[in-house]
Amino acid sequence: MSEALDDKAPGPDAPAVIEARDLTARFGTNTLFRNVTFDVRRGEVFVILGGSGCGKSTLLKLMIGLVPPAEGKVAVLGTDVWSTEGASRLDLLKRIGVMWQQGALFGSQTLLENVEMPLAEHTTLPPEARREVARAKLGLVGLSAAADQLPSEISGGMLKRAGIARALALDPPILFLDEPSAGLDPVTSAGLDALIRDLSRSLGTTFVVVTHELASILAIGDRCIMLDKGAKGMIAEGDPRELRDHSTHPTVQAFFLRKAA
């Protein structure tokens, strides 16, 4: 099937599905980053990268409306995340999916029930249809055989994949993934990268991925931004492979060449 599809990243003329403008995050008097501005284009795999503690996960939480920005604005699918409420906010939430760092699956439910939950809550699919759809989502991430298991009975890599299946439940146009390959072995991590790439190309889903795993960044990223703790902001933007080969910024070089600071 893939050969019938264009495997290229969406071009610069693709419409922006996320517009972040002058975002500043502050905890008390501590500024995590300031004036972060970028666009995420439809259908691309957009990576937010940077070292530990630079604010990558905070930036993601800011985009999905969990943490308010100290300054600036962020619009997802044309809706200002922090000014919308009520039905329009719910509509926006149905159009995004989030895979949390630890999966965040409900421990008392099987994987199938975890994936079924958003379908039961937000669609009018009949119960047998919901089950079939949930099985399909688990099949997409290679977890069909584990459908009846509890989260406590599966491995870390399976938890992350189950997290993606649940995030995919409503086929949202945008998926946010927080550290999808952290703590996974290279083979599982590569499998997850391939899955993200395939879903992006075959379903046209836009992915926003927070990670600092170099192999993942280079394998899946169409574009990226890099945050830096020292600079308290964004220090680079572009194709990760080009940044690796051509960036002259010492922090960017150190990151891609894995040099000690």
Partner 1 sequence: MAIWLWDDGEEAGPLAESLAMREEDGARRMALSGRIDTQAAAALWARLMAEARKPGAPLLIDLAGVEAVDTTGATLLLTAQSAAQGSRIEGASPGVVAVLDRVRDALAAPRPAVVARRFAPLSGLGRRVVGALNGGVEALAFLGETLVVALGTLIRPGRLRVRELLRHLDEAGTRAFGLAALLGALLGVILAFQSAIPLRQFGAEIFVPSLVGISLLRELGPLMAGVVLAGRTGSAYAAELGTMTVNEEVAALRIMGIDPMALLVLPRVLAGVLVMPVLSLLLTLAGLAGMALIMQLLGFQLNTVAQQLVNFVSLKDLLGGLFKASVFGLAIAIIGCRAGMGAGRGPRAVGDAATSAVVGGIVAIVVLDGIFAVLFERLGL
Interacting residue ranges for partner 1, rule: CB under 8 A: 1-2, 4-5, 15, 17, 42-43, 77-78, 95, 107-108, 119, 123-126, 129, 132-133, 135-140, 142, 144-152, 168, 170-171, 173, 198, 201-206
Query: For residues 58 and 200, which CB has a smaller minimum distance to partner 1 in the complex?
Result: 200
In contact, 236 and 225? CB cutoff 8 Å: yes
C-beta of 62: minimal distance to partner 1 in Å?
A: 21
Task: Kindly state the tokens that stand for 20.
Answer: 């972040």
Least spacing, CB of residue 87 vs partner 1, in Å: 12
Helix (H) or strand (E) holding 233: strand 233-238
Residues present in the chain in total: 261
Min CB(198)–partner 1 separation in Å: 7
Residue 32 or 170: which CB sits closer to partner 1? 170
Query: d(Cα 42, Cα 21) in Å, to the nearest integer?
Result: 17
Instruction: Choose between 135 and 223: whose C-beta lies nearer to partner 1.
Output: 135
Dihedral (CA of 99, 100, 101, 106) sign = negative
Nearer to partner 1, 112 or 224 (CB): 112
The least CB distance from residue 251 to partner 1, in Å, is 34
Which residues, 6 or more positions from 42, have their beta carbon under 8 angstroms from its beta carbon? 10, 14, 15, 16, 17, 173, 204, 206
**Residue 253 CB, nearest distance to partner 1 (Å)?**
36
* CB-nearer residue toward partner 1: 76 or 224: 76
Q: What residue type is assigned to position 176 of the chain?
A: F
Q: Residue 70 or residue 150: which is nearer to partner 1 going by CB?
A: 150
Helix, strand, coil percent values for the chain (each to nearest 5): 40, 25, 35
Count other C-beta atoms under 10 Å from residue 245's C-beta: 9
Q: Least CB distance from residue 237 to partner 1, whole Å?
A: 23
Instruction: Specify the DSSP element, H or E, that contains 205.
Output: none
